[in-house]
């Protein structure tokens, strides 16, 4: 058969009466096959390539459509003829099919969501462990065809199974948000537009994410009118009907792509309309950012309990719920918080007409305060509380990996509040599994891609009791792109599309940590041009290592304590504050295995405290060496005729390059100042030389970021953020460095 590359025409073939939008669960079609015929065009001949699916479901139908779209330059035609398996070139099967048992018996052991690609008798078989596995197999084949000249005979045989079963996006909704600012509220129109979600969910499926979690302090009055508390819903009947249609459509669209949906909230909050009607929980009208005591009145408990029941009953396609034991549960002991959950959330679930999956976020506090704290006793009591909940479906216990800054070290040093004890996993649990939250509060504008870091994270933290991860930000919604400048470089519609490589790496490596770098090189080459993939991936690794090393060296805890991209922190109604030289000298490191802070190193005779630690000057030298290679790779990439859409991404590499230069020069300056302050060796003039270089580094960094982005953008609740506006803070380091030792912070 001549299958030379050329225009491809695809026709969907199916017998009359096939319902493509079937039930949620796949069903066998006795005597009915769903077929796709691809005509491979060439100058001399055009022979059809038939693709047969022996089962149909919403998920498998979606996979077939994506297979069509990725290999065809024409719109598919719908026809009413039949095609048999005997005539098929590609057959899509599930592992229990008789044909699989006979020809590919090894596929019988495929784990859930797994798939196998196998050639046999001139046919390519895509064998799914289940419908989601079949979908991933079809998406894999579609990508291979795009990169092998549209030749199915060259599709690589493989067997894939998920490394982590829970691969979730954390998506904070702008309604009743955890943070309240223009950066979130301006997103409402986009977030309630199903056109946005179609593209976002397509990305999730392509990158093997299987859970969409939607986070809000209290979103439920946007979903239901509670029978006994109609005043809690601020919408009229028509408005509420539109909201219900939106949620139902979103959940259906997610299921079509093999994606489950969860709603996760904080406690104790109620709708503002309910708060004012009953004069309870009035803080709900302006959610606190710092926590505090919550309203535990009986009416609030009743409302919460009935709301949970009604949401579960009215949205059968909602797969899971999750709770946060905070931000308004101050004043209660840990045991009182658990008892409140029993009377409200868990009682509401028990009264519902079905079980539901559940995310139990590890308590944020081990005492009566709202601030972060942990204890062995609270961990043990929380575990026992979870294990008593027999009304739940699959259950997950969530922990923030390295608090709010998961993009730091691949080693775990803390969760929200402090150290994590072994009580949740020793002995091994059988009623729940861990999920980590990898928060991104470190880069909102610059792109990121580091497959080595993700593989190391999974290796270190993918124990048998770990199901997977949430990926996302608490304070940044990746919907409307409000930071990009217009121009031919802007080839995307939404912000998440700017960060495509971050999503692709995390999703695919959580599914298969053995995904080779060649996969990402293909993706980069598609954007940057033939022959660029290897250099582009290496450049991205070095570029984003600058951010990772900074966040591992300069410990961040809660959201506001570290904004790596800005080399700063921020506060409520307080402009971002640069980490000045005084801070850099004394601030603790996160990764104490790899690094030692500057003061400790200088006062320890310029010796590290363990053999694994790198000294500050060794870190600076490594940064210099890596960034010299990075700027060379950038030059190589720019020698290609980059499209505007590729040039903007390479420019982000250049921005990270200047960030790394600034970080390195700042370390050198800080060491020189520390030697003066703690040892009496006056190297202040040397420090000033480095700080003058820092000034130039920062100006170049700010200029690179502003080349394709608006100079200022709203940063959470601290106001407009501008790298150029921080230049004065950068330059003030010279005065701080020259101050007498007696005036310096100790």
Q: What is the pLDDT of residue 242?
A: 98
What are 671-729's pLDDT values in tens digits? 999 999 999 999 999 999 999 999 999 999 999 999 999 999 888 766 789 999 999 99
First-to-final CA distance of the chain: 78
CA angle 433, 434, 437 (to 5 degrees): 145
Does the structure show a pLDDT above 90 at 405? yes
Instruction: Give the three-class secondary structure for 551.
Output: helix
What are 233-266's pLDDT values in tens digits? 999 999 999 999 999 999 999 999 999 999 999 9
| Mean pLDDT (whole number) for 63-68 | 89
Q: What is the pLDDT of residue 69?
A: 80
**Bigger pLDDT: 220 or 66?**
220
| Mean pLDDT (whole number) for 132-141 | 97
Is there a single domain that holds both residue 151 and residue 239? Answer: no
Is there a single domain that holds both residue 481 and residue 351? Answer: yes
Structure tokens at 383: 């575990």
Confidence of residue 78 (pLDDT cuts 50, 70, 90): very low
Does the structure show a pLDDT above 60 at 14? no
Does the structure show a pLDDT above 90 at 185? no
The boundaries of the domain holding residue 304 are 166-515
Q: What is the pLDDT of residue 350?
A: 98
433 belongs to a structural domain: yes
Is there a single domain that holds both residue 466 and residue 598? Answer: no
Q: What is the pLDDT of residue 35?
A: 53
538 belongs to a structural domain: no
446 belongs to a structural domain: yes
Residue 11's contacts (CB-CB under 8 Å, 6 or more residues apart) are 36, 37, 39, 76, 77, 78, 79
Does the structure show a pLDDT above 90 at 180? no
Give the percent of the chain with pLDDT over 90.
Answer: 80
Is there a single domain that holds both residue 151 and residue 233? Answer: no
Does the structure show a pLDDT above 90 at 471? yes
Beta strands in 300-340 (DSSP E): 320-327
Q: Are strands 568-571 and 466-472 parallel, antiparallel or unpaired?
A: unpaired
Is there a single domain that holds both residue 616 and residue 508? Answer: no
State the CATH number of the domain containing residue 24: 3.30.379.10
Q: Do residues 673 and 585 make contact, with C-beta atoms less than 8 angstroms apart?
A: yes
Does the structure show a pLDDT above 70 at 547? yes
**Bigger pLDDT: 287 or 30?**
287
| Mean pLDDT (whole number) for 508-530 | 97
Q: What is the pLDDT of residue 570?
A: 86
703 belongs to a structural domain: yes
Is there a single domain that holds both residue 249 and residue 104? Answer: no
Q: What is the pLDDT of residue 287?
A: 63
Is there a single domain that holds both residue 156 and residue 172? Answer: no
**Bigger pLDDT: 202 or 30?**
202
Is there a single domain that holds both residue 459 and residue 354? Answer: yes
Is there a single domain that holds both residue 124 and residue 255? Answer: no
Helix (H) or strand (E) run with residue 51 in it: strand 46-53
Structure tokens at 678: 């703690």
Give the percent of the chain with pLDDT over 70.
Answer: 90
Q: Do residues 397 and 432 make contact, with C-beta atoms less than 8 angstroms apart?
A: yes
C-alpha dist (Å) from residue 746 to 553, 599, 609, 620, 672: 20, 9, 20, 23, 15
Is there a single domain that holds both residue 66 and residue 117? Answer: yes
Total domains, the chain: 3
Does the structure show a pLDDT above 80 at 557? yes
Among 283-287, 300-304, 595-599, the minimum mean pLDDT is found in 283-287
Q: What is the pLDDT of residue 148?
A: 85
Which of residues 160, 182, 200 is at a domain's end? Answer: 160
Q: What is the pLDDT of residue 36?
A: 52
What are 607-632's pLDDT values in tens digits? 999 999 999 999 999 999 999 999 99
Structure tokens at 29: 């079609």
Structure tokens at 364: 């944020």
Confidence of residue 459 (pLDDT cuts 50, 70, 90): very high
Give the closest residue to 562 by CA, choosing from 590, 542, 592. Answer: 590
Does the structure show a pLDDT above 70 at 173? yes
Cα distance between residue 283 and residue 552, in whole Å: 36
What are 332-347's pLDDT values in tens digits? 999 999 999 999 999 9
Q: Do residues 210 and 114 make contact, with C-beta atoms less than 8 angstroms apart?
A: no
687 belongs to a structural domain: yes
**Bigger pLDDT: 152 or 352?**
352
Q: Do residues 5 and 149 make contact, with C-beta atoms less than 8 angstroms apart?
A: yes
Does the structure show a pLDDT above 50 at 24? no
The number of residues in the chain equals: 746
Does the structure show a pLDDT above 50 at 352? yes
Cα distance between residue 507 and residue 568, in whole Å: 29
State the CATH number of the domain containing residue 288: 3.20.20.80
534 belongs to a structural domain: no
Does the structure show a pLDDT above 60 at 44? no
Q: pTM of the prediction? A: 0.93
What are 631-657's pLDDT values in tens digits? 999 999 999 999 999 999 999 999 999
Q: What is the pLDDT of residue 71?
A: 65
Is there a single domain that holds both residue 143 and residue 190? Answer: no
360 belongs to a structural domain: yes
Write down the residue that tokens 């996006």 correspond to.
169
480 belongs to a structural domain: yes
Is there a single domain that holds both residue 307 and residue 423? Answer: yes
Confidence of residue 11 (pLDDT cuts 50, 70, 90): very low
């Amino acid at each position: 058969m001549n299958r030379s590359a050329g225009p491809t025409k695809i026709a969907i073939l199916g017998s009359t009466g096939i319902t493509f939008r079937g039930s949620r669960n796949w069903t066998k079609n006795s005597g009915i096959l769903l077929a796709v015929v691809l005509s491979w065009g060439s100058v001399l001949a055009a022979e059809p390539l038939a693709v047969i699916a022996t089962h149909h479901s919403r998920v498998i139908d979606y996979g077939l459509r994506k297979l069509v779209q990725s290999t065809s330059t024409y719109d598919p035609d719908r026809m009413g003829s039949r095609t048999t398996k005997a005539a098929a070139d590609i057959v899509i099967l599930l592992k229990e099919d008789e044909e699989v048992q006979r020809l590919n018996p090894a596929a019988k052991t495929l784990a859930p969501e797994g798939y196998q690609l196998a050639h046999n008798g001139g046919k390519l078989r895509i064998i799914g462990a289940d419908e989601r596995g079949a979908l991933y197999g079809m998406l894999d084949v579609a990508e291979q065809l795009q990169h092998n000249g549209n030749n199915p005979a060259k599709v690589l045989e493989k067997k894939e199974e998920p490394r982590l079963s829970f691969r979730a996006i954390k998506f904070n909704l702008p309604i009743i948000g955890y943070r309240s600012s223009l950066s979130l509220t301006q997103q409402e129109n986009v977030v309630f537009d199903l056109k946005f979600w179609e593209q976002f969910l397509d990305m999730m499926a392509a990158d093997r994410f299987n859970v969409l979690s939607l986070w809000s302090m209290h979103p439920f009055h946007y979903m239901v009118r509670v029978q006994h508390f109609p005043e809690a819903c601020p919408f009229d009947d028509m408005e509420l009907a539109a909201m219900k249609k939106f949620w139902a459509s979103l959940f259906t669209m997610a299921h079509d792509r093999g994606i489950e949906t969860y709603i996760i909230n904080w406690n104790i909050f109620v709708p503002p309309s309910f708060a004012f009607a009953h004069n309870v929980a009035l803080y709900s009208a302006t959610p606190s950012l710092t926590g505090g005591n919550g309203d535990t009145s009986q009416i609030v408990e009743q409302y919460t309990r009935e709301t949970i029941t009604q949401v579960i009953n009215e949205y059968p396609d909602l797969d899971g719920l999750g709770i946060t034991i905070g931000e308004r549960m101050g004043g209660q002991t840990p045991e009182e918080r658990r008892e409140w959950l029993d009377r409200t959330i868990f009682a509401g679930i028990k009264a519902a007409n079905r079980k539901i999956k559940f995310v139990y976020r590890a308590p944020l506090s081990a005492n009566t305060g709202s601030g972060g704290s942990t204890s062995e006793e609270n961990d043990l009591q929380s575990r026992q509380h979870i294990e008593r909940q027999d009304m739940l479906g699959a259950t997950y216990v969530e922990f923030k990996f390295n608090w709010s800054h998961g993009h730091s070290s691949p080693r775990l040093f803390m969760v929200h509040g402090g150290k994590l004890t072994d009580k949740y996993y020793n002995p091994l649990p059988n009623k729940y599994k861990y999920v980590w939250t990898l928060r991104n509060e470190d880069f909102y504008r610059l792109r990121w891609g580091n497959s080595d870091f993700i593989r190391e994270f999974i290796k270190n933290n993918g124990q048998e009791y770990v199901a997977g991860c949430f990926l996302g930000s608490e304070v940044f919604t990746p919907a409307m792109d409000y930071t990009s400048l217009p121009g031919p470089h802007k080839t995307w519609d939404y912000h998440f599309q700017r960060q495509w490589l971050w999503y692709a790496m995390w999703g695919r490596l959580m599914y298969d940590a053995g995904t080779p770098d060649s996969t990402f090189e293909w993706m980069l080459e598609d954007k940057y041009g033939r022959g660029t993939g290897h250099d582009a991936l290496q450049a991205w690794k070095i570029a984003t290592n600058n951010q990772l090393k900074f966040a591992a060296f300069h410990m961040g805890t809660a959201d506001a304590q570290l904004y790596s991209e800005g080399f700063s922190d921020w506060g409520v109604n307080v402009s971002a504050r640069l980490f000045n030289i005084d801070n850099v000298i004394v601030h603790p490191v996160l990764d104490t295995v790899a690094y030692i802070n500057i003061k400790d190193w200088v006062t320890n005779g310029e010796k590290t405290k363990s053999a694994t630690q790198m000294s500050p000057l060794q870190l600076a030298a490594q940064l210099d060496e890596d960034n010299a290679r990075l700027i060379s790779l950038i030059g190589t990439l720019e020698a290609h005729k980059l499209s505007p859409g590729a040039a903007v991404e390479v420019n982000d590499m250049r921005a990270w390059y200047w960030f790394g230069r600034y970080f390195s020069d700042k370390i050198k300056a800080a060491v020189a100042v520390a030697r003066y302050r703690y040892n009496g060796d006056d190297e202040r003039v040397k420090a000033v030389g480095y700080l003058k270089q820092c000034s130039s580094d920062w100006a170049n960094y700010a200029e690179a970021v502003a080349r394709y982005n608006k100079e200022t953008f709203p940063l959470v609740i601290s106001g407009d953020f501008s790298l150029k506006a921080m230049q004065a803070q950068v330059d003030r380091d010279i005065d701080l460095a020259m101050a007498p030792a007696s005036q310096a912070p100790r």
